[in-house]
Amino acid sequence: MTTAVTTTDLEVRYGDVVALSGLTMSLPAGASLAVVGSNGSGKSTLLGALAGTIKPSAGTIEVVGKAPSLVLQATEVDETLPITVRDTVKLARYPSVGLLRRFSDADNDAVNHALKRMDAADLAESRLHELSGGQRQRVLMAQGLAQDSQVLLLDEPMTGLDVASRGLVLDVIGAETADGRTVVMTTHSLSDAEACDLVLLLRTTPIAFGTPSTTLVESNLRTAFGHHVIRVGEETIVDDHHVH
């Protein structure tokens, strides 16, 4: 089985503050990984390190193919920024096309296909700032797909989405892995994590890494979330406003 992402003794520091340490893992091509932990546990730091936007303080990272595609959470957009949804998604193609070269038919096809997959084709000519937060999240997801990288990194992709859009994102993740791509997503949702092939439970250092059934067990969750973990009958629940 081909390995898509490998980290060895990965550590990231911000000054004297350790944001992530001691992470050694290998992700096979075509797998989905949910990175779970409370706020400040190192989830977003890990995505930034894998994307190359954050420099490791120690350890190594190896990623196959071209640079991973990183999809951040949707944020507010300046109303004076005259960018359309289509232009936003087209930005994903510039690393391979270049700023001065014209888009080929393949580039335009990639943009159109990504918009269609995220059910955003009808929004293509809308201004980005006119969209709701959930719509912007789907557009940013389309931008990530249009980059056509072998590794897709998603930072809390379900934030602000309705039930239908959440299902759409999960379907797209399934389609990406079925095509042999690797998807890494951070999430506060244990149910979303259970839908992935692998789970990494973080609290700055890795607590557990493996299948959902072996990782999302009560002892590991208590280590990760402390007193926020409670028992309701036979079910373990994380009683935290960020975790479902």
- Residues 45, 143: one domain? no
- Residues 98, 203: one domain? no
For position 226, what pLDDT does the model report? 74
In a domain, 174, yes or no: no
Nearest to 56 by CA among 68, 47, 65: 47
In a domain, 170, yes or no: no
Label each residue of 68-115 as H, E or C: CEEECCCCCCCCCCCCEHHHHHHHHHHHHHCCCCCCCHHHHHHHHHHH
- Residues 91, 50: one domain? no
The model's pLDDT over 159-201, given as tens digits with 9 standing for 90+, comes to: 878 888 889 999 999 999 999 999 999 998 888 899 999 999 9
pLDDT for 49 beyond 90: yes
Residue with the bigger pLDDT between 19 and 238: it is: 19
- Residues 80, 105: one domain? yes
- Residues 64, 155: one domain? yes
In a domain, 168, yes or no: no
Integer angstrom CA distances of residue 240 from 24, 37, 207, 225: 28, 11, 18, 9
- Residues 103, 86: one domain? yes
The model's pLDDT over 24-44, given as tens digits with 9 standing for 90+, comes to: 999 999 999 999 998 889 999
Give mean pLDDT, residues 54-73. 93
Contact predicate 41/91, CB 8 Å: no
The model's pLDDT over 101-156, given as tens digits with 9 standing for 90+, comes to: 678 888 999 999 999 999 999 999 999 888 888 888 999 999 999 999 999 999 99
The Cα–Cα gap between 154 and 151 comes to: 10
Number of domains the chain contains: 2
- Residues 132, 157: one domain? no
**pLDDT range class, residue 19, cuts 50, 70, 90:** very high
Q: Residue 226: which residues within 8 A CB-CB, separation 6 or more? A: none
- Residues 202, 224: one domain? yes
pTM of the model: 0.89
**What CATH number corresponds to the domain at position 49?**
3.40.50.300
- Residues 142, 156: one domain? no
Range of the domain at 43: 1-68+151-162+181-244
**Average pLDDT across the chain, whole number:** 88
In a domain, 175, yes or no: no
